[in-house]
Structure 1
Amino acid sequence: MGRLGIMALTLLLAAPASAGTDEAVFDLMLRGMRAGTLSFSAEEQDGRYAVNGRLESGGLIGMFKTTRYDVAARGSIQGRTPAAATYSERAARGDDRRETILTWTNGVPAVERSVPQRKRRSYDIEAQEQRGTVDPLSALYAALRDTAPGEECRLSLDIFDGRRLTRVALGEPTPSETGVTCKGEFRRVAGYSKEDLAEKSRFPFVVSFAPTDEGRMRAVRVTADTIYGQATLRRR
């Protein structure tokens, strides 16, 4: 997953919630200007989920080079944590096309497809050593679902995208005028070059939740530090 995808992931990680059918659209703002749109649709039944998502640049970033990610994931919910089973990602950035397919068996990921092939680097990590991770979209699905009051900030996930390991964690909730907020941190752990880690390895963010008519809590706004500067996700 490229920089735009990682930026959206940095912004979106919040908390998992109840079963059902979910659809959502988020506007991505960077320095006050529209930079893209993220949408997803998901179905969950009998403890299993299937989710499809799309991240597409527009506005500020779209003026330079259009970027689009089409992603899909399946898995199960164990307690309040997703357990990944399959993940596919098709990315297009200008004329550049990339595809990744991952599977998990007993919690251990494997890279089934990675196109184009990439020359191995000294900082690369082994997929079979990333037991207990989830894919980026499963993490996003967990993040974007409505949650029960009091459960807003209960999240800690390790994420593997086929090349990199990242970690996200949220702290205690703080009451706000519209609901609650949660301070969190997204961290690059492994699979990054020394230059990438020196550029920025920790990304603090704040998630704002508001109550729904059904008495659930919904992530409606996320602000975060990114490699592009201050960014915001707003739910439509």
Structure 2
Amino acid sequence: MTKSLRIATLALSIFAALPVTAIAQQVEDKATFDVVIRGISAATLAFSGVEENGNYAVSGVLKSAGLAAMFRKISYTATAKGAVSGSRYTPFSYVEKSDNGKKQSTSKMTYTRGVPSAVQYTPAREAREKEVSPATQGGTVDTLTALYAILRDVDAGQECRISLKMYDGRYVSSIATSKPQAKGKSVICSGQYRRIAGFKPDDMAERTTFPFSLTYQPAANGRMRVTEVAMESLYGKAAMKRR
């Protein structure tokens, strides 16, 4: 994944979680975001998810768009499944397929009691001297699950309450939202994405924290919905805007 698309993806997010009620209830969510960097369209991010009986299933697609697509077509498709209780997520599996314009690859992760138990790459990925062991990453979630948790519709008063640690098979990071501030009918949250482990020394020396903001607005379903994510990236101002 190119740095600009990785930043746009990780510093932003996707999807929802509701407490299980006595009556089985299915909750569906889907949206498309335009990713803009320094005023230039760079990518689109779309997701579709469903929750039922305390479980969730999410699919997402990130692909280059606008001028970026003219120079190089890049796409990432992913699916994640797991259990959800309130704002707590326990992944069961994660699959990602990528096409960077030069080669295609697939990565898969499965979990045992919330601990990544198997990580597979096709073709095999080059090993590094210091790899993060999956066995040490119990309680983490995959990137797509984190995006789903942050971009979900929520009940009024429940905005800005996400704090998750992520592991994608190589990188460990965290993402959190807090400090809700009302602005008219909107609610704005402060957020932070932070690199923790698995990154190259140059990446850690360059920068480890990336602040961002989320803007919620009332949706037709009576809940609050993320309509924009804004941040200062390594390449200037970046944003995700919901269509």
Shorter-normalised TM range: over 0.9
2:137 to 109, 130, 134: 130
Q: Deviations over 1:178-217 (max 9, x none)?
A: 4110011100000001101112211000000001133211
Query: Would the alpha carbon gap of residues 122 and 32 (structure 1) be closer, same or farther in structure 2, given more than 3 Å must change?
Result: same
Q: Tell me the amino acid that sits aligned with residue 164 of structure 2.
A: L
Q: Deviations over 1:142-169 (max 9, x none)?
A: 1222001111110100011111001011
Alpha-carbon distance, 1:60 to partner: 2.9
8 Å contact 2:177–2:189 — kept in the other structure?
yes
State the match for 1:224 in structure 2.
231
1:95 aligns with 2:102: yes
Alpha-carbon separation, structure 1, partners of 2:50 and 2:213: 27
Alpha-carbon separation, structure 2, partners of 1:156 and 1:46: 23
Alpha-carbon distance, 1:129 to partner: 0.5
Alpha-carbon separation, structure 1, partners of 2:173 and 2:47: 22
State the match for 1:8 in structure 2.
9
Q: Give the TM-score, by structure 2 length.
A: 0.91
Structure 1 gaps, min length 5: none
Alpha-carbon separation, structure 1, partners of 2:186 and 2:164: 24
Alpha-carbon distance, 1:16 to partner: 4.0
Alpha-carbon distance, 1:2 to partner: 5.2
8 Å contact 1:48–1:76 — kept in the other structure?
yes
Percent of aligned positions that are identical: 39
1:50 to 45, 57, 62: 57
1:60 aligns with 2:67: yes
Q: Tell me the amino acid that sits aligned with residue 229 of structure 1.
A: G
Alignment of 1:1-236 (within 5 A): 3=3, 4-12=5-13, 16-18=16-18, 20-236=27-243
> What SS does the corresponding residue of 1:213 show, helix, strand or coil?
coil
Structure 2 gaps, min length 5: 19-25
Alpha-carbon separation, structure 2, partners of 1:50 and 1:2: 26
Once superposed, what is the RMSD of the aligned Cα atoms?
A: 1.6
Dislocated runs of 4+, deviation >4 Å: none
Q: Tell me the amino acid that sits aligned with residue 119 of structure 1.
A: E
